[in-house]
Amino acid sequence: MADKIKVAVAVLLLIAGIAGFYFLSESPMVLRVASVLAGFAAGSVVGWTTEPGRRFFVFAQEAVVETKKVVWPTRKESLQTTGAVFAFVVAMAVFLWLTDKSLEKLMYDVLLGWKK
């Protein structure tokens, strides 16, 4: 039950920060943005003390560890893949253009007899 109250307080703090942005409409933009950041920071601190917040923090740490395990492509591999995609797009564009012009010729000139 305490975690639910803490989550509700965290959400209320975030909403208060956003409301402060609009409440301080006559104030300098720096103060308005600081209001949102303060609400977000306070909500995050309160949310982090809950069990779901701790689980999320552990999950985020594990996600960073897994991201470090990924084998990212080299520059050469990225350029080769990009080139292959570009070549495929150009080939498809030419194919679709030829198909369009062939159907146009067939429909308008041969079947309907409309000469341009």
Domain ranges of the chain: 2-69, 72-116
pLDDT greater than 70 at residue 82: yes
DSSP single-letter state for residue 114: -
Three-state secondary-structure class, residue 71: coil
DSSP single-letter state for residue 39: H
- Scored b (16 or more CB within 10 A) or e, 53-65 reads beeeeeeeeeeee
Average pLDDT of the residues in 89-99: 98
DSSP single-letter state for residue 26: T
Query: What whole-number distance in Å separates Cα of residue 19 and Cα of residue 38?
Result: 12
Query: What whole-number distance in Å separates Cα of residue 34 and Cα of residue 48?
Result: 20
For the entire predicted model, the pTM comes to 0.52
**6-59 residue pLDDT tens:** 889 999 999 999 999 999 888 899 999 999 999 999 998 998 888 888 998 999
Residue 113, pLDDT score? 76
Q: Show the tokens assigned to 91.
A: 């080939």
Query: What whole-number distance in Å separates Cα of residue 27 and Cα of residue 30?
Result: 8
Residue 116, pLDDT score? 57
Average pLDDT of the residues in 99-113: 88
Question: Are the CB atoms for 39 and 10 separated by under 8 Å?
Answer: no
Residue 55, pLDDT score? 92
